[in-house]
Each structure stands twice: as structure tokens, then as C-alpha cells.
Structure 1
């Protein structure tokens, strides 16, 4: 272990990123690349009654999140981890991203790498990206995967309207189960008659809390083996939280 210290700030819009925060904390108790680590969790949820997916356009979303990023900077973090896919795709549009010297890492990059590895290792496979409307609408995962050589036909987006908010309020309620079932059906229709391996990427940190519900729904639709990919776990892997890796993975 190197003799140094660092402050890691983890942020999300709501409580989804707490799973990433908790995983990092648990692993740091056992091993760390730092002698002393200060962990800060910043909830960037903008208003009591609505989140970023309720804003009309990217300009509004970026202004609101820019204010949140400025507030985070007051904690003088050495690194900011955006444990939220929605905020990760908004971040490059903020003024903060153009001026800050703080390394900022988004979960989208971890998700893209995770998906890429599985698609490359598995011939005749496709991925369904489950995310919020902002995440799937920006197409960031798909664009990056195509740049890495993945065929566009292997990538299916499934935007889940209001699901993150429902999970926030009642993660195991009937409405959440119904919404996951509905989105699984829609994804199955997009897959059509495809019979190869299907990966389901839970590209909203809230969805990780309901991975069992996704697995059950996807077992019925499309009625074939589906492997869940959870970027939350990937982002929290402690061996990736070294000074060198944090600097390399910062959003440019």
C-alpha cells in the first residue's frame, strides 16, 4: 500500500449510487491503494418532486447538474465518481466539465467496457441496455461500443420511463415488478427471433437493487438464457481505484 491519502466523492441523482458507495467502503476496509481514504456521498437529486429525466432538454439538465458539481467541489475531492448513468451522460454538457482540474469518472465508461468484453468474448450475442430515457436517448453506450468495433445490430436500447423513481420509493412493490415486466417484453420484441446469447445491462444504478426481478422477467421474455451485467459492481472494484487508474479513467 502506498503512503498517501485521498478523498473520493461518489454522486448520484437519488440513492442508486449508494450501492457503489457501500461496495467501495466494504472493500477499502480490507485493502486499499491509499493509506487514508475519506469517502463522501453527494445526492444530486434536484427537486423533491422531480429528477433530471423530467427536465425538458439537455440544456436545462446540464445547468442544474453544473450547480451540483460546483457544490461538490467545496468538499475538495481528489476524485469524483459519478455513480449514475443519467448524470454521466449529462456531465460533458456542463460548464464544470470544461474548467475543473478534478478528475471525474462516470459509470457509463465502466458499463461500456463491461458490455464490450462480454460481446467480444461471446460470438453471436446481443445486449439490451436498460436505462433511463436520458441515458438511452443520448445513445452514449451504443456510440462508444460502435467506435470499439461492435456491430450496431448487436445493441438494443430499452428506455425505462419512471422506473428509477419507482424503485427509489418502493423497490419491491407491485408497480416496480409490473414496469420491469413491461420493459422486458418490449426488449424481447426488439430482439425478435434472435436465438443467440443475450446480455442485459442494467445501466441505471437504481436497477441493480432489482436485478433479481429483471432476471425473472427476462427468463419469461425472451424465454432464453439472459446474463445480467451490472456496471455498479464494475465501478466499485477496488483494484480500479488506484491513483493511476482514477486519473486514466477521468472523463476528458
Structure 2
């Protein structure tokens, strides 16, 4: 720990977040014991795992707090960045913005009610756009996986316990996989679905893949489709002249200088 201004601020914020979550957990535990509430939400399900005789499956207070922090980050930060980059991209591709709006208006009309799940399921163009944005600006730049048994990959033999880094951003922009237009916004590449969008059926994995795929994948996509549909339904938008395109990769990809977008009510 270096005593810099940023590190002191991070430490202070971490303490405040922990104190808030610890208080929430303790209050919920008391409410559950008194019968005033149940396990029908995320925090309740996490606490329910402790009502077992198997000590190996029980979660400590630290475990519960870390899971709550993870779900907040995964459910808020990544989805907000997906919507931010989608609006940036559609601002620079007005034809696709209009195609998406026409689809939304055809399916949803001019109602002020939120879209239903059935309506969301029929938003094909919106889905293609979101997939392409996820490819260009994946919510997580890389993933780390650890081998649990000996495995051979690409002619190399890895024993159990080796940590492998999966560079999602690099693979999503690989011209050998996606073609010479790998850096271009072309939603039509997903016209026949994810598996046929690239030369390899598993080349698109913004949420990971396999048994440890992001459990919030479907929810995040539904949330993004609903939000984007409601924006397209009521607004047109374009980039402010002050916008500077500078994707900045940390764990997620941020617009380094923000994304000032001008909305006009339809």
C-alpha cells in the first residue's frame, strides 16, 4: 500500500462500502431469524446457504460481502458500459440507429409502458447491434481460468493448477477469426446467430464460456435491450462535438474522456 491520495481514497471507500454491506447483512440475518422476511432475493439466498450442516458449503461474512460487491459490479458497471458504447456507436452510425428505432416502433409502438419479455425477444436488429458492441467493446477485457486437471492446448501440456489468461478483447478483434473488417461495426455478421458470426463458433465470448459462464448473461442482455428500446422509442441522439474517441481498458473498457451525447425528444 503506497500512501498516495488515490490509494487513501480507495481505502476509505472500501471501508465505507464494507460497513454498509455488513450492516445490511446483520439486519437481514436478524429479520430472517425473527420471521419478518424470507430468502427470496440475492442476499437471502446467500444467507440461506449457511442453514446447512455441511461446514464446507457455508459462507463467512466476508464471503457474503464479497459476493454482494461482485454482483453489484457485474450487474451495474458492465451493463452501463454496454449501453454507453452502444449509444456512442449508434451515434456514429445513424443508419443502424434508425433501423433499430423502426424495429422498436414496429414491435412496441408509441406506448410509454416498458417492453414486455415477449417484445424484447422479437428485437432482432437490436440484439445484433448489442452483440456487435459486445464484440468491439466487451464488458470484461480478459478472464482468468485455472486448470483443474492436466490438459493439452495448442500442442502444449498444462498440469493442474495453471492459471490461463483469456484475452477477450484481442480475440474479438482478431482478423484471422473475424475477417479484415474485424475493427469495423458490422452488426449483420450476427444475422445468423452467434455461432456463425466468426470462423470459430466460440470466438464470441463476452460473458465467458463453459460451466463458469457469467450467470447474469441473460439478465444483462434483457436489461440492455429494454433500456435501449425505450431510449430509441423516445429519443434520437448524436455525439457532442466535444467527444473524443479514446477507449481506455482497465477491467472494463471506458471512454477515457467521457461520452457526451446529445438527445433530442421525438
Give the TM-score taking structure 2 as reference length: 0.22
Which of the two has greater strand per residue?
A: 1
Larger relative contact order (C-alpha < 8 A, sep ≥ 6)?
1
Give the TM-score taking structure 1 as reference length: 0.23
